[in-house]
Chain A
Amino acid sequence: MAENAIGQSVVRREGREKVTGQAKYVDDLSFPGMIFGATVRSSVPRGRIRTISFEGTIPWNEFVIVTAKDVPGKNIVALIEHDQPYLADGMVNHPEEAIVLLAHPDKYLLEEARRHVRIEIDPLPAIFTIEDSLAQKEIVWGKDNVQKSFLIETGNMKDAWTNGHVVVEGAYETGAQEQLYIEPQGMIAVANPADGVTVRGSLQCPFYIHKALIELFALPPEKIRVIQTETGGGFGGKEEYPTIIAGHAALLAWKSGRPVKIIYDRAEDMVATTKRHPSRTKIKTAVDKQGKLTAMNIDFVIDGGAYVTLSPVVLSRGTLHSFGPYACPNVKITSKAVATNTPPHGAFRGFGAPQSLFAIERHMDRVARKVGLSPDEFRRRNFLSDGKTMPTGQIVRDGVDLSALLDRALELSHFHDKRRRFARENTTSAIKKGMGLATFMHGAGFTGSGEAYLASIVAIEATKEGIVRVLTSSTEIGQGKNTVFAQIVAETLRIPIDRIEVTMPDTAIVPNSGPTVASRTAMVVGGLVAEAAKNLKELLKKKDIHFPVKVTAQYQQPKDISFDDKTYRGDAYGTYAWAVYVAEVSVDTVTYEAHVDDFVAVQEIGKVLNPTLASGQIEGGVAQAIGMVLYEKVEWKEGRMVNGQMTNYIMPTSVDVPPIRVFFEGVPYRHSPTGAKGIGELPMDGPAPAILNAIEDAIGVSINKIPCLPEDILEAMERSRA
């Protein structure tokens, strides 16, 4: 039994199917009579649709054709704001917006037909940048282009700038990042008025889709069914967008009466689906003679794209991480999500935090330089610790010792020794080396009162055959949910792990345990699984049990955690993971290429449930973040991604990544029965600033914008020479 328990590297539950090619992803499935669907999209960023015509020698009578007119319910993707249609009706607001759907049994003819749908659009002026949106060069959303804004204020800002303190200002930018899960998005729908709508596919949040399809088809909840298929990577990219594909496939199935499969090819997936929000942050700080922060003024803006989707919550998380893991008495944070005519930006691992933490962590290095302290010492003097207060009024109670994490990271990376050595060697070498660090936190679970509002439920069932079944809507997307949930139940019930089944989410079978996002699955849902398992254990002690038996557990907000969504004060997150990352970088001053040579990731994530899976999450996140900094650049033209291919949008390969060395500290989270905290998003936050801090250490040039490709380094070095 011990080998199944929490804390052991239990082998991935669905691993055998994955290594033998037997795991079934959506494109591996087929249904009798199934036909294929395709999407015809807008060619312009903004305008009014004039005509749609079907041309060429295509046998159009064989095709199922769906436009906005065919929507049985509401043509609105139900999420936060009700501003986005499934199919454009009159207006288009971004390139690649879906207008017409086609389906046919022959994939080759379908593709031919897609090219022969002619959509004439009278163009309207469009905007593509945060600056133009803020300047209201054109109003493209609401009254003022502002999709959401926040203000957090504490202390007194007035005197901080004038009483002899060192004041540093800076502006920081981050670009869009493509998700690039290796399995493109796809869905299969079966739909008719008698049976309702069933969709299967690659997704993270079954009940998001369930809720949205109720509105799209004006059907009762029991007539909508959403089933997850094996999912080949999510990262947030399969949080909200799958709802649109599910809706499209279901509309075609509803009209044709046949099962419809829509699978995006890579190019369509890259240009049409959501990417990480571009951002710009302005920071002004004051520091006193002791090297303590006395004031911070932060202005954080993200580009939401044409529709709101999840931007308000991305902005919220970005705002609530913008001050970093530092204590400061006087803070003002303003933030905005603004509209542009690009496809909506969406959830992507880190969810706004990588953007705002990049800014503060670059800024902290610049301030340290200005006040003459080492980057570690300046941070150390300002660290949050237990009993200290965040700008939201939240008092830290995690039992974390960031200073100790910092010591460990400095030692493991030989930070100071290497920094001294590189400074010496760089004077005579064309390859300049540098060390950089970042210290940061990531709030685990939904922001603010999100978890209380979700009120997630899990169920566990025991059969008379002795099988224990775990029922949740949490999806396995590679992160290891199947394995960790089984471990939690095995530990609680003291039964062998092979007696436990973790059910694939199907909204007809599982309760709503919330979406698989926000680093909440192991901590929040896993905690509920432990609680339900305890309930089952109690029940089984009774006499006269009639199998099968089922128990549930529901989330209840701990009494000592509260947040006011109106004033944005209180406990923004129940707990945080804390980390110190160090990057060792070399910059070739002949080719201007930067490479990460070594990477140390030290983090405190509560109880580590499965070391192999947990370190796998960190390593994968660090690599994805290295991509975001040094390799991956979305090139835009008129709101459209023009390098939508793996050939010209470059992600890290096996020869690009450094050794990624992962170390855990574990202070168990007091409100989680397993002690676990969130982990999935944390590793996305730290690498970008650590790497750019290392680049500045190497070449002495301050670069405050990512991605940072060779041409950007060249430009920055030339600019600094001029």
Chain B
Amino acid sequence: MPKQIITCTINGQSQRLDAHPMSRLLDVLREHGLTGTKEGCGEGECGACSIFFNGRVVNSCLVPALQAEGATMTTIEGIANGEQLHAVQEAFLKYGGAQCGICTPGMIMAAVALLKEKPNPTEADIREGLAGNLCRCTGYMKIFESVMRVFKGKGTDLEETCPHK
């Protein structure tokens, strides 16, 4: 089957991507070198492939690639501002939110989205907000702590450190 061209914006840059018409957005991102977005289950259960798609967090394994035409996306590669980590990344690093690291990119996307919507989350908000992202290593405790620390230790403007949303 001939490939098709998709025009879209990823991490602030306009892109023309060629894609197998049957492929998933996850495949196309990864084939174009954005391998920080992971595949854990391929059926929308684990959240490892979470990205921002037109401002909302989606499982990129459930999005047909052709739907990305004209879309604006942010992947984990676009979360830090150059060398400067996003506050959520910083917190995951410092408070043990990442162990094996495979769920981490998706988990960070979900956490960034949560804090954007609820800058002062309760523990229940955090649990609910991350329920679509599975982690087999941490038991979630240090992930909750990481997210909690971001909002407690504010002063870092999330909007400012995440330029591409």
Contact = CB atoms under 8 A, between A and B. Distances in A.
Contact of A20 (B43, B76, B130): B76
A589 interface: no
A463 interface: no
Given A230-B101, A616-B96, A619-B142, A19 B89 contact: yes
Interface stretch (B32-40, B63-71, B148-156, B157-165): B32-40
A21 B105 contact: yes
Given A108-B22, A655-B131, A25 B41 contact: no
Contact of A22 (B36, B45, B134, B137): B36
A21 B139 contact: no
A480 B142 CA distance: 14
Given A183-B38, A620-B99, A478 B134 contact: no
A364 interface: no
B136 A651 contact: yes
B135 interface: yes
B41 A646 contact: yes
Contact of B85 (A16, A613, A619): A16
A15 interface: yes
Interface string B40-76: 1111011010000000000000000000000000011
Contacts of B40: 182-184, 266, 646
Interface stretch (A121-129, A231-239, A282-290, A396-404): A231-239
Given A20-B36, A233-B100, A478-B99, A11 B136 contact: no
B43 A646 contact: yes
A645 B42 CA distance: 10
A624 B140 CA distance: 11
A612 interface: yes
A21 B92 CA distance: 13
Interface in A489-547: none
Nearest to A106: B20
Contacts of B97: 19
Nearest to A653: B131
B117 interface: no
Given A21-B77, A266-B42, A657 B100 contact: no
A28 interface: yes
B85 to A, nearest CB: 7
A660 interface: yes
A20 B100 contact: no
A654 B111 CA distance: 12
A60 to B, nearest CB: 20
Given A11-B93, A27-B39, A182-B102, A19 B85 contact: yes
Contacts of B76: 20-21
B136 A620 contact: yes
A23 B101 contact: yes
A613 B134 CA distance: 19
A621 interface: yes
B108 A183 contact: no
Interface size, A (range) = 35 or more
Interface in A7-58: 9, 11-12, 14-25, 27-28
A480 B38 CA distance: 21
Contacts of B80: 20
A233 B95 contact: no
B16 interface: no
A621 B96 contact: no
A529 B38 CA distance: 33
Given A19-B108, A654-B140, A12 B96 contact: yes
A620 B139 contact: yes
A28 B100 contact: no
Contacts of B113: none
A721 B70 CA distance: 62
A622 interface: yes
Task: Kindly name the residue among A15, A182, A657 whose own CB sees the greatest number of chain B CB atoms within 10 A.
Answer: A182
A660 B36 CA distance: 30
Contact of A181 (B85, B130, B136): B136
Nearest to B100: A478
B130 A183 contact: no
A479 B99 contact: yes
Contacts of A619: 138-142
A180 B136 contact: yes
B22 A477 contact: no
B140 A657 contact: yes
Contacts of B9: none
A235 B136 contact: yes
Contacts of A659: 141
A647 interface: yes
B65 to A, nearest CB: 13
Contact of B41 (A12, A20, A21, A266): A266
Contacts of A183: 38, 40, 100, 102
Nearest to A646: B45
B127 interface: yes
B103 interface: yes
Nearest to B48: A182
B128 A655 contact: yes
Contacts of A233: 99-100, 102, 136-137
B85 A182 contact: no
Contacts of A235: 136
A265 interface: yes
Contacts of B142: 612, 615-616, 619
Contact of A645 (B37, B39, B43, B143): B43
A623 B75 contact: no
A622 B43 contact: no
B116 interface: no
Nearest to B99: A478
Interface in A601-633: 612-613, 615-616, 619-624
A624 B89 contact: no
Contacts of A622: 139
Given A15-B98, A19-B108, A25-B102, A645 B141 contact: no
Contacts of A28: 30, 35
A661 to B, nearest CB: 9
Nearest to B130: A654
A632 to B, nearest CB: 11
Interface string A216-234: 0000000000000011111
Contacts of A18: 98, 101, 104
A184 B136 CA distance: 12
B104 A19 contact: yes
A4 B109 CA distance: 30
Contact of B103 (A182, A479, A615): A182
A612 B95 contact: yes
Interface in A227-277: 230-235, 265-266
A646 B42 CA distance: 9
Contacts of A23: 101
B94 interface: yes
B116 to A, nearest CB: 18
B142 to A, nearest CB: 6
Contacts of B138: 616, 619-620, 623
B28 interface: no
A235 B22 CA distance: 35
A385 to B, nearest CB: 30
Contacts of B30: 27-28
A477 B137 CA distance: 10
Give me the 8 closest cross-chain CB pairs, A-B, nearest first: A21-B36, A232-B102, A478-B100, A18-B101, A623-B139, A21-B76, A478-B99, A619-B139
12 contacts: A18-B101, A20-B85, A183-B40, A233-B136, A266-B43, A478-B99, A478-B137, A615-B96, A623-B140, A645-B41, A654-B140, A657-B140
Given A183-B40, A233-B100, 4 more contacts: A183-B102, A615-B141, A619-B141, A624-B136
